[in-house]
Chain A
Amino acid sequence: GDSVTQMEGPVTLSEEAFLTINCTYTATGYPSLFWYVQYPGEGLQLLLKATKADDKGSNKGFEATYRKETTSFHLEKGSVQVSDSAVYFCALRSGSARQLTFGSGTQLTVLP
């Protein structure tokens, strides 16, 4: 079945540091890939998405590129801020699947 493996956290960075959160997946066919963000005590918000190989999703300074050859969708940001502190979830939807498959989430803390 489909699965998503995320880099284990927690991740702690200083403000303005470079961020990478690794995400790899196993799926049939050509899934759509997503990154969601969850701020404390809130629901999940879609951060970015990509629907085919080599697509790059971007939003709020975050980027992720759909790499079919390595089945990866790593999240990156060049300079993190304290306000980026949250839990980040990688997810996929493959083919006609009725629901998304989520990774276990990565807690990011950015220190001033």
Chain B
Amino acid sequence: DGGITQSPKYLFRKEGQNVTLSCEQNLNHDAMYWYRQDPGQGLRLIYYSQIVNDFQKGDIAEGYSVSREKKESFPLTVTSAQKNPTAFYLCASSIFVTGNTGELFFGEGSRLTVL
């Protein structure tokens, strides 16, 4: 079945370490997104990408980095520069075609805890 796969589902990191969250989609979608969700709060956009080898910063990009070498993959690296990385991270994708409603399809999320 088509969908978005995020891994790992749970991840623990020591302070000062970088960690990479994986996101793979087989929906043939052009656009991919990373959101951060904190307890009791909404979603905040970290980075998004509309095509391979191109991506843009969202509202809270500081301390994060991404790459888009393949259409199917959009990994997120949480660097040691991110001051408060403990959160639930959601990856999403969408078709981006003029006239399309452009709803997002989400993965199951990755919960990162910094010890």
Point out residues on A near B: beta carbons under 8 Å: 32, 34, 36, 41-46, 49, 51, 89, 93, 96, 98-100, 102-105, 107
B109 within 8 A of A: yes
Q: With a CB–CB cut-off of 8 A, which chain B residues contact A100? A: 102-104
Q: Closest CB of chain A to B67's CB: distance in Å?
A: 18
Point out residues on B near A: beta carbons under 8 Å: 4, 6, 31, 33, 40-43, 45, 48, 50, 56, 58, 90, 92, 96, 98, 101-109, 111
Known: A32-B101, A34-B103, A99-B33. A43 touches B42 (CB 8 A): no
Q: Closest CB of chain A to B47's CB: distance in Å?
A: 10
Residue pairs across A and B with CB atoms within 8 Å: the count is 56
Q: With a CB–CB cut-off of 8 A, which chain A residues contact B106? A: 36, 43-45
Cα separation A44 to B42 with both chains bound (whole Å): 11
List 4 other contacts, CB 8 Å, given A43-B90, A43-B106, A89-B42: A36-B106, A49-B103, A98-B50, A100-B104
Whether B42 lies near A32 (C-beta < 8 A) is no
The closest CB in chain A to the CB of B88 belongs to: A41
